Amino acid sequence: MCGIVGSLNRPFDDPGLLLRDLHHRGPDGHGSLTMGPLTVLHTRLAIQDQGAGGHQPMQRGRYVLVFNGEIYNHRDLRQCYNLTCQSGSDTETLLAMWEKFGPAALPQLDGMFAFALFDSVEQRLWLARDRFGQKPLYVWQTGTQLVFCSELRTLQRHLALQPNRAALSRFCQAGYLMSSETPYRHVRLVQPGHLEQIDARTMACTETDWRKSSLPQRTPIGPQSATLNRLEQTLTQTVRQHLDTTDREVGVLLSGGVDSGLITALAAQYQPGIRTFTLSFGGGLYDEAPLARLVANRYRTRHTEVVVPTTNLADEVLNLLPRYGEPFMDSSALPSSWVARAARQHLPVVLTGDGADELFGGYRRYVPARLGLYDLPAPVARLLSKLSTALPHPKQKQSRFSQALRLLASTQQTGPSRYLSTTTDVMTGYESALIDPAPPNQLTSLLAETDSLSNLQQLQALDRALLLPGDLLKKMDIATMAHGLEARNPFLSQPVADFALSLPDNQKIGWQNGAIRTKVLLRQLAHRYLPPVLVNKPKRGFEVPLRQWLDGPLRALTHDFLTNPGLIDTLIEPSFIRQLLEQPRRFAPEKRAKLLWMMLSVEIWHRSLHQHD
Q: Give tens-digit pLDDT for 102-123.
A: 999 999 999 999 999 999 999 9
pLDDT at site 216: 73
From the list 519, 470, 469, the residue with the least C-alpha distance to 489 is: 469
Q: Would the pLDDT of 188 be above 70?
A: yes
Q: What is the pLDDT of residues 300-331, one digit of tens each?
A: 999 999 998 878 999 999 999 999 999 999 99
Mean pLDDT of the chain: 91
Helix (H, G, I), strand (E, B) or coil at 314: helix
Residues contacting residue 608 through CB under 8 Å, at least 6 positions apart: 153, 321, 322
Q: For residue 588, count other CB atoms closer than 10 A to its CB.
A: 18
Q: How would you classify residue 29: left for phi > 0, otherwise alpha for psi between -120 and 50, otherwise beta? A: left
Average pLDDT of the segment spanning 326-337:
96
Spatial distance between the Cα atoms of 538 and 517, rounded to a whole number of angstroms: 9
Q: Would the pLDDT of 386 be above 90?
A: no
Spatial distance between the Cα atoms of 128 and 192, rounded to a whole number of angstroms: 8
- Residue 53 class from Cβ within 10 Å (0-12 exposed, 13-18 middle, 19+ buried)? middle
Q: For residue 232, count other CB atoms closer than 10 A to its CB.
A: 16
Whole-prediction pTM: 0.94
- The beta strand positions in 397-509, using DSSP E, are 486-488
Assign domain 2-209 to a CATH class.
alpha beta
Helix (H, G, I), strand (E, B) or coil at 556: helix
Helix (H, G, I), strand (E, B) or coil at 129: strand
- Give the pLDDT band of residue 185 (cuts 50, 70, 90): very high
Task: Kindly report, as residue ranges, where domains of CATH 3.60.20.10 are found in the chain.
Answer: 2-209
Quote the percentage of the chain above a pLDDT of 70: 91
> SS3 for 35-47, per residue?
ECCEEEEEEECCC
Residues contacting residue 328 through CB under 8 Å, at least 6 positions apart: 176, 321, 474, 475, 478, 601, 605
Q: Which residue has the higher pLDDT, 396 or 12?
A: 12
pLDDT at site 407: 65
Average pLDDT of the segment spanning 278-282:
89
Task: Kindly report, as residue ranges, where domains of CATH 3.40.50.620 are found in the chain.
Answer: 224-361+459-535
Q: What is the pLDDT of residues 32-66, one digit of tens each?
A: 999 999 999 999 988 877 777 788 999 999 999 99
Q: What is the pLDDT of residues 353-370, one digit of tens each?
A: 999 999 999 999 999 999
The rounded radius of gyration (Å) of the Cα atoms in the chain is: 24
Whether the upstream peptide bond of residue 57 has omega within 30° of 0, thus cis, is yes
Decide: 577 and 565 in contact? Cβ < 8 Å: yes
Quote the percentage of the chain above a pLDDT of 90: 79
- Residue 147 class from Cβ within 10 Å (0-12 exposed, 13-18 middle, 19+ buried)? buried
Helix (H, G, I), strand (E, B) or coil at 140: strand
State which fold the 224-361+459-535 domain adopts.
Answer: Rossmann fold (3.40.50)
Decide: 116 and 455 in contact? Cβ < 8 Å: no
Q: What is the pLDDT of residues 524-565, one digit of tens each?
A: 999 999 999 999 887 666 688 999 999 999 999 999 999 988
pLDDT at site 68: 96
- Give the pLDDT band of residue 286 (cuts 50, 70, 90): confident
* Pairing relationship of beta strands 38-44 and 250-253 according to DSSP bridges: unpaired
